[in-house]
Amino acid sequence: GNSVTQMEGPVTLSEEAFLTINCTYTATGYPSLFWYVQYPGEGLQLLLKATKADDKGSNKGFEATYRKETTSFHLEKGSVQVSDSAVYFCALSDQSGNQFYFGTGTSLTVIP
Amino acid sequence: DAGVIQSPRHEVTEMGQEVTLRCKPISGHNSLFWYRQTMMRGLELLIYFNNNVPIDDSGMPEDRFSAKMPNASFSTLKIQPSEPRDSAVYFCASSRQWEGYTFGSGTRLTVV
């Protein structure tokens, strides 16, 4: 079946630190992979995506590379800011492209 | 585009009352999803529709929950009768095949 596993939180970092949030997946076929971000009191927003192996998705300084050999899609940012404090969800879409599977979310707090 | 529109934003009701949550998806999106989010259980998929047809309602917790999508531009999630354990944030999301979800801002339901 399809599933996503992401690292447990919460994660607390100082401003300008390097961020990695691990995400691995199990899927049949060739899924597309996504990272969503949820700021306090808001809905989830698409942060970035990758649709095939070795693709790199990027947005707002965040990056993630679709690694088929390790079934991973780790989220990285070189220098986090206080405004990056949020919950981050890794997700995949199934072969139909219609249904998505979300990880449990990783809470990130960035302190000045 | 106005995005996915949910109403109401907040709902407070007494136990035993009927609650109806509403969602207007993005025009042109062919899939619609209802999620529930709580601290304890995280993000749970309740039901999803494809081309207005319910495809998977295995996440609907009990018969007290029902969802309809009478046309491509409107969906409802109804809880009757409501119970305190139904208190959560309910999100609606829509998507086109292979594209990421777009989430609404959510309805925060409190059942007292």
Interchain contact, B98 vs A32, CB within 8 Å: yes
pLDDT of B1 strictly over 70: no
Dihedral Cα A45, B60, B71, B21, nearest 10 deg: -70
Q: Which are the contacts of B71, defined by CB distance < 8 A and separation ≥ 6?
A: B52
pLDDT of B83 strictly over 90: yes
Question: What is the Cα–Cα distance from B71 to B48, expressed in whole angstroms?
Answer: 14
Report pLDDT digits (tens) over B32-71.
999 999 988 889 999 999 999 999 899 998 899 999 999 9
Predicted local confidence at residue A29, as pLDDT: 82
Predicted local confidence at residue A21, as pLDDT: 97
Predicted local confidence at residue B17, as pLDDT: 97
Rg of chain B over all Cα atoms, to the nearest angstrom: 13
CA nearest to B4 within chain A:
A43
Predicted local confidence at residue A63, as pLDDT: 98
Q: Are A78 and A61 in contact (CB under 8 A)?
A: yes
Q: Which of A32, A43, A100 sits opposite B104 (nearest CB)?
A: A43
Report pLDDT digits (tens) over B3-36.
999 999 999 999 999 999 999 999 999 999 999 9
Dihedral Cα B41, B46, B50, B54, nearest 10 deg: 160
Task: Please state, rounded to an integer, the average pLDDT across all residues of chain B.
Answer: 94
A1 vs B: CB within 8 A: no
How far is A53 from chain B, CA to nearest CA, in Å? 15
SS3 A100: strand
- Chain A residues in contact with B48 by the CB 8 A cut-off are 98-99
- Chain A residues in contact with B103 by the CB 8 A cut-off are 36, 43-45
- pLDDT lower than 70: segments of chain A: none
How far is A82 from chain B, CA to nearest CA, in Å? 22
